[in-house]
Structure 1
Amino acid sequence: MSRCLALLSLCVLLAACTNINQENYSKLKAGMTKAEVEQLLGKPGECSGALGFSSCTWGDEKAFISVQYAGDKVLMFSGQGLK
């Protein structure tokens, strides 16, 4: 029982330490490089793209940040469910 409680506590702590939050979202700026965004948010969970444009997403369906790139630079970004 104590192992289950310890594991649950660890999961809650890890969830609270996410980079996907309003504070980091407010630091995003058009023109930032992919490296700068990844330094701020970490590695994205998902990326796709074609013809020099790409889109990467951090988070899950409840809280996420999505960044669209033209080449290596942020073109626009959006977020939902951020605290």
Structure 2
Amino acid sequence: MKIFTRLLCAAALGLVAAACSKVTVENYDKIKVGMTYEEVKQLLGAPNQCSDVMTVKSCTWGDEKRHVQVSFVADQVVLFNSENLR
């Protein structure tokens, strides 16, 4: 019975975390070319991952199944895309 209770609690926490996610279609639609990294961070929260190659900083919010990717040059959005947002 303890295992079932723990699994139920873990599932409930997962649903709460997913419901609180800022990675939504509504927030994705607010991203515009020219926004700063800080503006995007305020909109989507802290990114899950960022990498810097040459002068391009690419950040990902979400996971491998559902995410938003944004590329910045000189701290401004130049390209963004999403996968499986609903």
TM (norm. structure 2) is 0.87
Q: Which residue of 2 aligns with 1:20?
A: 23
Structure 1 segments, 4+ long, off by >6 Å, are none
Unaligned runs of 5+ in 2: none
Match of 2:74 among 71, 77, 83: 71
Does residue 2 (structure 1) correspond to residue 9 (structure 2)? The answer is no
CA offset digits 1:42-72 (Å, max 9, x no partner):
1111111233211101111111000011110
AA paired with 1:80? E
Shift of 1:3: 4.2
* Count of aligned pairs: 83
**Match status 1:43 vs 2:46:** yes
Q: 2:32 matched to 1:29? A: yes
Q: TM-score, normalised by structure 1?
A: 0.90
Q: In the aligned structure 1, how far is the partner of 2:56 from the partner of 2:5?
A: 49
Identity %: 43
